């Protein structure tokens, strides 16, 4: 889990809330961790990363909605959003890996001690299987985080106001394939934000 710790530390200034993942990493690496608790932590790791990525990349979903999403649904949605915002994200390849991710959830529900109150460790829990899933979930979570942190997050803020951007596009010329609103956002942020404030105030006044 050291690579995940390192990338979280590198991006702490911009995304301090991602430090919360350390609790899961500590549990996965704890000396007393049993195969069943490792399965539980592996599932929690991928789920936590997916849901927290969604909080940033899909502004149409609020925190309550994301928190209530089923495991595999949250992972699929996070992959779609990463593919939307990251040119480096290999969406088709990662999507092909969803079957073992879904299986991780099934096995965790069948064998997990923590959420089901079963005695730990169970005789049929395999240390090799749990280590396989730990390595798999760690690699997937790291790749998702790496692509997420590499995204130009300012452009996500720009995409929050499509109606305003469309309005701005009618007041200026595009350069190549870049619309006027995006040019203004990237190169004269104060002017963009000033016009946005006026637009939102006028919109609020008509409600």
pLDDT digits (tens, 9 = 90+) for 143-201: 999 999 998 777 767 777 888 999 999 999 988 888 999 888 888 888 888 998 898 88
**How large is the average pLDDT for residues 6-24?**
91
CA separation for the pair 166, 199 (Å, rounded): 12
CA distances from 55 to 18, 63, 81 (A): 11, 7, 11
Give the best-scoring range by mean pLDDT among 9-23, 33-47, 193-207.
9-23
Alpha helices in the chain, H assignment, sequence order: 2-10, 22-29, 35-57, 63-67, 71-85, 91-95, 98-111, 127-150, 153-158, 162-169, 180-187, 189-206
Nearest to 110 by CA among 29, 190, 43, 182: 43
Taking the CB of residue 99, how many other CB atoms lie within 10 A of it?
Answer: 10
Confidence of residue 30 (pLDDT cuts 50, 70, 90): confident
Give the best-scoring range by mean pLDDT among 39-43, 73-77, 100-104.
73-77
Count Cα atoms within 13 angstroms, Cβ side, for 128.
0
Q: State the pLDDT at residue 96.
A: 80
Residue 114 has pLDDT above 70, yes or no: no
Q: What is the pTM of this model?
A: 0.72
Q: State the pLDDT at residue 168.
A: 92
Residue 14 has pLDDT above 90, yes or no: no
Higher pLDDT, 118 or 196: 196
Q: State the pLDDT at residue 101.
A: 75
3-state secondary structure of 23: helix
CA separation for the pair 150, 127 (Å, rounded): 35
3-state secondary structure of 175: strand
Residue 124 has pLDDT above 60, yes or no: no
Percent of the chain topping pLDDT 90: 31
């Amino acid at each position: 889990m050291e690579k995940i710790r390192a990338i979280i530390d590198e991006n702490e200034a911009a995304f301090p809330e991602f430090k919360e993942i350390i609790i899961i990493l500590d549990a996965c690496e704890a000396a007393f961790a049993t195969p069943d608790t490792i399965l539980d932590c592996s599932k929690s790791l991928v789920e936590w990363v997916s849901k927290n990525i969604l909080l940033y990349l899909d502004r149409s979903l609020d925190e309550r909605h994301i928190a209530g999403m089923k495991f595999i649904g949250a992972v699929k949605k996070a992959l779609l959003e990463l593919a939307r915002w990251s040119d480096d994200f290999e969406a088709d390849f990662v999507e092909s890996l969803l079957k073992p991710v879904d299986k991780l959830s099934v096995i965790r529900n069948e064998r997990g001690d923590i959420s089901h109150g079963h005695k730990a460790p169970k005789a049929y829990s395999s240390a090799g299987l749990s280590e396989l899933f730990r390595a798999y979930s760690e690699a997937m979570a790291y790749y998702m985080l790496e692509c997420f942190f590499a995204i130009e997050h300012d452009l996500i803020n720009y995409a929050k106001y499509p109606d305003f951007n469309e309005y701005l596009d009618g007041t200026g010329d595009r350069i190549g394939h870049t619309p006027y609103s995006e040019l203004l956002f990237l190169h004269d942020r104060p002017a963009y934000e000033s016009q946005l404030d006026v637009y939102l105030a006028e919109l609020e006044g008509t409600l």
